[in-house]
A and B are shown apart, each in its own frame.
Chain A
Amino acid sequence: MVAVSAQEAAPVVAKAEVRGLNFYYSDFHALKAIDMPVYEKKVTALIGPSGCGKSTFLRSFNRMHDLYPGNRYEGEIRLFPDDVNVLAPGVDPIEVRMRISMVFQKPNPFPKSIYENVAYGLRVRGESRRVTLNEKVEEALRSAALWEEVKERLQEPAFNLSGGQQQRLCIARALATDPEILLFDEPTSALDPIATASIEELIHDLKNKVTIVIVTHNMQQAARVSDYTAYMYLGELIEFGVTDEIFIKPKKKETEDYITGRFG
């Protein structure tokens, strides 16, 4: 909503605003009073040592925690422009997931054809016209930089693709539904360096289209792909800011220690 950075030329607009978010796995208090904006058409990286709650935080955005019993949210994640709290009990998690999509750590294509994988989100939304499906599938595969590699074999099983291709297929699957926010949970941790580079490049290109939040363990990756970075530790948000500032001149000592590798 408001410009925060003097370095950015265009005004940045908040796509979502996290306010006082607490999350509990039954009795375990996994996220503690998190306040943070997510800016529209920017890449926000979540970093921090293993177990600090990055995945937990990311999965709150699309209410994945609702799939398992005993999980509880407090606080708000407001989604703009309509200013709705996606965590409100009255909001259907399915509606939230229709707007906020997710790419997982391990590529998880469905055991269906390449085409059906990408088309699935559209089918869920009731789309069955062949022409529209074809169009959207091609568009999504192009956005995911996979079209050229698979256009001749759309009907082949998705499992025939390499790991990196599978992950780009999963990205295409998420993109086909025009999500407002795309969540990535360590999308390259199961991939080799070449596949990783292609996914990073893709994320870089995608931010013109969609707001991205990405969890990563890799400092270089966070520095390369993100505009904003949030450093988390033990369920708390320690520092949030423009990536360049976080990496060059962090305000908090803990952040600096983590980034320079003295810890974590």
Chain B
Amino acid sequence: MTASYLRRVKVAEVERVASRIKRFRLVDVENKPLSEFSGGSHVTVCMRAQDRVIRNPYSLMGCPSDTSSYQISVLKVDNSRGGSQFMHDNVVVGTELEISEPLNLFPPAKLARKHILVAGGIGITPFMSMMSELDALGSDFELHYGVRSAAEGAFCKLLEARYGSRIRLYLQDQDQMVPLERILSNQRLGAHMYVCGPKPMIDWALRTATLAGWPDESIHSEQFNAPPIGKPFVVKLARSRREITVGGHQSILEALEQNGIDAPFLCRGGACGQCETEVSGCDGFIEHNDHYLSEAEKASGRKIMICVSRISGDAVTLDL
């Protein structure tokens, strides 16, 4: 993906929807219609901070057929290396940003009889557009939404008003847990489960569904990957014979972009597979942070997803 795919938008509205979450409404700078998207899609938002460019994926929350504006919501992350902080502190009504075209790695299954949505915290965002779409289609769905407290949960009132008893809220500070095992038992054939939230919650939900005898094809998840930072290392590019230093707070992809090298990417979250790169040599170990490569591929050490994975060691040689 290159700059030509980017669309310039400006912020039309900012709203604080929970103690650490802000919602942004984006419109085309020339008020041209935006592309339609499908429920569960996200865009990559490109932010021009003082010293660097930050690109983070954010899920689209509005109605998929509404082309007048897009809505995203951003959680302010502690120890953020930039993106979410920038959105909270620097982005106001009128700020211009660039976004990619929508991409969907988390669509609802077309042939499902029922959709069981499980959200934790900011993981509610992809379900906002998904529910819009499912509701318009008259599909059967229910949302189980866990939040830390009433103050930290976004959109609770709005969701209950819009979808009534199809929404179940669970407040962590009142010891309410999503009773997933019970929810998943006695569902008729054709039910699909979707989960988005913190990694431990995703892992727990996937495990619970598998132990309930649900086939992999009926279980879906999206992880908002925020991989750990590390130590600086050198990337040697075999084809272009260049050497680039990747900072401890940078991904390989970001370091390449900073040095004017265009590498392919779509999701920037280790999910889509677009940035898969051949490793021709590694002076250290690859820290695989993606959920795209198979265990065998990870173990082989021949491939790396440069949007999220790094190495612990001195240098890695890539086929670029």
A binds B: no
Interface residues of A (CB under 8 A from B): none
Interface residues of B (CB under 8 A from A): none
